[in-house]
């Protein structure tokens, strides 16, 4: 076991990890953050999406040791004090989920999309989110939610 | 995933030294290929050398006379998004953009992509078509070799024990070249290619002067469509001639085998269609940016 220190959802965190643990395992099994899910385990489905230094990654394919000293944002780090992040709010308003297993990944990917591209076209949204799968097939609602999130983010000073 | 020891050197030279001393030890970079093989139990290492702690190996450098240099540990997303790559090598940026999904492109490295030599990948075909060279570092010093000599087969490279990819070098952009990378997928949007075509052309007053066409994800390594190129070189651009020349691509490929993205027979049908579409785009037979069916 080695000690790993990172910034997680804005706070410094230290945790002992084994070299063969993925970031997803550490988040879920050591730190109790169950928002990121293990779907496929091979980087295809997007349910384990978290942001590393602001960029979306598959936490199931990241060795935990590689986040030492870096900034990790999970769905648990959005919103706070009884209010939702605009992206969460938009997904809720648009009912952009059915079983919701994919939702935290969809929201984190959308969060990254809107921070790198504040005014994406529908085609750009589809291209960016193509790697986040929803087996309930709520893609139409997800697209609507991203459009709504774009409005809410733009309206936020 | 089974336990393993992880060694974390901070220079490529140190990493190469460890790999040279321990033939069973392998290097891991972005991990998007290797971790899957390890989770599946296909690859069960005792020790790995983690390249993610190596410093100064992730960079994009461009000089109009020297061309482009990509540090081995540059994430694929940085290749697609770097303003100088987009401006001077838009086809390479596009092929990088077509790899997997945004999360994988943030993790996977361009050096790892080429060193893993997965034949079902997008960048290698474009790198071959652009005449890229692979710079390596290892126990016997540094070497530079053309990417088509570096790629020996599916998952096979010219890397010797202890050697690592250090940098990918792309020659300066050639003026007045039109290029395109077309990817054909048979499953999801972010899937590996069933087939991919990189094509570059330069015409002089309606006559094809230079042509380079490379098909990826079909043969064990990217393959140049020399028969198609020779048929069209020096000829006037004409839809019927392009259609006829593209048919030669079916004979020029030798599919590795049936894979999850298509049977060998199917790939032989797909390749000439993709080659025709690529030629139509770069020879100005369809409005640019539109892909004819």
Which of B4, B52, B104 is opposite residue A19, by nearest beta carbon? B4
First to last CA, chain B: 44
Say which CATH topology domain B5-53 has: 3.30.43
CA–CA dist B118, B132 (Å, integer): 17
CA–CA dist B246, B241 (Å, integer): 9
Q: A41 and B2: CB-CB below 8 Å?
A: no
Confidence grade of residue A118 (pLDDT, cut at 50, 70, 90):
very high
- Please report the pLDDT score of residue B293 as a whole number: 47
Q: In chain B, which residue's Cα lies nearest the Cα of A56?
A: B103
Q: A61 and B2: CB-CB below 8 Å?
A: no
Q: In chain A, which residue's Cα lies nearest the Cα of B190?
A: A131
**Chain A interface, best mutation among B6, B34, B102, by max A CB count within 10 A:** B102
Q: Where in the sequence of chain B do the CATH 3.30.43.10 domains occur?
A: 5-53
DSSP per residue over A78-138, as a string?
Answer: SSBTTB--HHHHHHHHTT--SS-TTHHHHHHHHHHHHHH-SS--HHHHHHHGGGS--TT--
Q: B35 and A133: CB-CB below 8 Å?
A: no
Instruction: State mean pLDDT over A54-66.
Output: 98
Q: Where in the sequence of chain B do the CATH 3.30.390.50 domains occur?
A: 178-282
**Which of B183, B75, B77, B58 has its CA nearest to residue B126?**
B183
Tens digit of pLDDT for each residue in A82-104?
Answer: 999 999 999 999 999 999 999 99
Burial of A18 (0-12, 13-18, 19+ CB in 10 A): middle
Å between A141 CA and nearest CA of chain B: 19
CA–CA dist B182, B201 (Å, integer): 15
- Please report the pLDDT score of residue B257 as a whole number: 84
pTM: 0.97
Q: What are phi and psi of B178, to 5 degrees?
A: -100, 135
Q: In chain A, which residue's Cα lies nearest the Cα of B28?
A: A63
CA–CA dist B186, B207 (Å, integer): 35
Å between B132 CA and nearest CA of chain A: 28
Which of B50, B104, B188 is opposite residue A43, by nearest beta carbon? B104
Residues of chain B contacting residue A19, judged by C-beta atoms under 8 Å apart:
3-6
Q: B190 and A131: CB-CB below 8 Å?
A: yes
Please, what are the domains in chain A? 2-77 (3.10.20.30), 86-155 (1.10.150.120)
Q: Number of A to B CB contacts under 8 A, please give it.
A: 79
Tens digit of pLDDT for each residue in A11-28?
Answer: 999 999 999 999 999 999
Q: What are phi and psi of A15, to 5 degrees?
A: -150, 145
DSSP per residue over B147-196, as a string?
Answer: HHHHEEETTEESPPTT-EEEEEEEPPPPTT-EEEEEEE-SSSTTSPPSEE
| A56 at B interface, C-beta within 8 A | yes
Q: B103 and A46: CB-CB below 8 Å?
A: yes
Specify the DSSP element, H or E, that contains B207.
strand B207-216
Query: How would you write the pLDDT of chain B (293 residues) with one tens digit per residue?
Result: 999 999 999 999 999 999 999 999 999 999 999 999 999 999 999 999 999 999 999 999 999 999 999 999 999 999 999 999 999 999 999 999 999 999 999 999 999 999 999 999 999 999 999 999 999 999 999 999 999 999 999 999 999 999 999 999 999 999 899 999 999 999 988 999 999 999 999 999 999 999 999 999 999 999 999 999 999 999 999 999 999 999 999 999 999 888 999 999 999 999 999 999 999 999 999 865 555 44
Confidence grade of residue A156 (pLDDT, cut at 50, 70, 90):
confident
Q: A19 and B3: CB-CB below 8 Å?
A: yes
Q: Does domain B60-170 correspond to CATH entry 3.30.470.20? A: no
Q: Where in the sequence of chain B do the CATH 3.30.465.10 domains occur?
A: 60-170
Q: B107 and A41: CB-CB below 8 Å?
A: no
Which residues, other chains included, contact A110 with Cβ-Cβ below 8 Å and sequence gap of 6+?
A87, A90, A91, A129, A145, A146, A149
Q: Does domain B178-282 correspond to CATH entry 3.30.390.50? A: yes
| A58 at B interface, C-beta within 8 A | yes
Residues of chain B contacting residue A63, judged by C-beta atoms under 8 Å apart:
6, 28, 31, 35, 50, 52
Q: A43 and B50: CB-CB below 8 Å?
A: no
Q: A61 and B8: CB-CB below 8 Å?
A: no
Q: 3-state DSSP call for residue B73?
A: coil
| A3 at B interface, C-beta within 8 A | no
Predicted-complex ipTM score: 0.97
């Amino acid at each position: 076991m080695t000690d790993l220190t990172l910034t997680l959802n804005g706070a410094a965190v230290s945790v002992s990890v084994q070299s063969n643990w993925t970031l997803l395992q550490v988040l879920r099994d050591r730190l109790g953050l169950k928002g990121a899910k293990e779907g496929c385990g091979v980087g295809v489905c997007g349910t384990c999406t978290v942001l590393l230094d602001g960029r979306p990654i598959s936490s199931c394919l990241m060795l935990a040791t590689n986040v030492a000293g870096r900034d990790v944002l999970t769905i648990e780090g959005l919103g706070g004090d009884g209010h939702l992040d605009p992206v969460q709010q938009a997904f809720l308003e648009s009912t952009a989920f059915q079983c919701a297993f994919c939702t935290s990944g969809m929201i984190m990917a959308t969060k990254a999309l809107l921070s790198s591209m504040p005014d994406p076209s529908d085609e750009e949204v589809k291209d960016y989110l193509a790697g986040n799968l929803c087996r309930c097939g709520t893609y139409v609602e997800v697209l609507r939610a991203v459009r709504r999130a774009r409005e809410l983010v733009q309206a936020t000073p | 995933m089974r336990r393993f020891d992880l060694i974390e050197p901070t220079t490529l030279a140190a990493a190469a030294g460890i790999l040279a001393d321990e033939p069973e030890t392998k290097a891991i970079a972005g991990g998007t290929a290797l971790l899957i093989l390890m989770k599946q139990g296909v690859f069960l290492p005792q020790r790995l050398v983690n390249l993610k702690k190596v410093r100064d190996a992730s960079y994009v450098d461009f000089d109009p006379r020297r061309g482009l240099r990509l540090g081995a540990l540059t994430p694929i997303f940085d290749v697609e998004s770097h303003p100088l790559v987009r401006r001077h090598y838009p086809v390479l940026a596009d092929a990088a953009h077509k790899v997997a999904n945004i999360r994988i492109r943030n993790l996977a490295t361009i050096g790892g992509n080429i060193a893993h030599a997965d034949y079902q990948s997008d960048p290698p075909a474009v790198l071959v078509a652009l005449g890229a060279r692979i710079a390596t570092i290892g126990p016997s010093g540094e070497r530079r070799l053309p990417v088509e000599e570096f790629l020996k087969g599916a998952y096979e490279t010219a890397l010797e024990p202890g050697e690592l990819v250090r940098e990918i070098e792309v020659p300066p952009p050639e003026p007045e070249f039109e290029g395109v990378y077309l990817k054909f997928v048979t499953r999801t949007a972010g899937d590996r290619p069933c087939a991919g075509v990189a094509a570059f052309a330069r015409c002089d007053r309606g006559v094809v002067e230079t042509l380079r066409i490379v098909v990826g994800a079909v043969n064990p390594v990217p393959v140049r469509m020399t028969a198609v190129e020779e048929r069209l070189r020096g000829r006037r651009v004409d839809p019927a001639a392009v259609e006829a020349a593209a048919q030669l691509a079916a004979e020029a490929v030798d599919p590795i085998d049936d894979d999850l993205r298509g049977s060998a027979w199917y790939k032989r049908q797909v390749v000439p269609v993709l080659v025709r579409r690529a030629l139509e785009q770069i020879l100005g037979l369809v409005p640019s940016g539109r892909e004819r069916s």
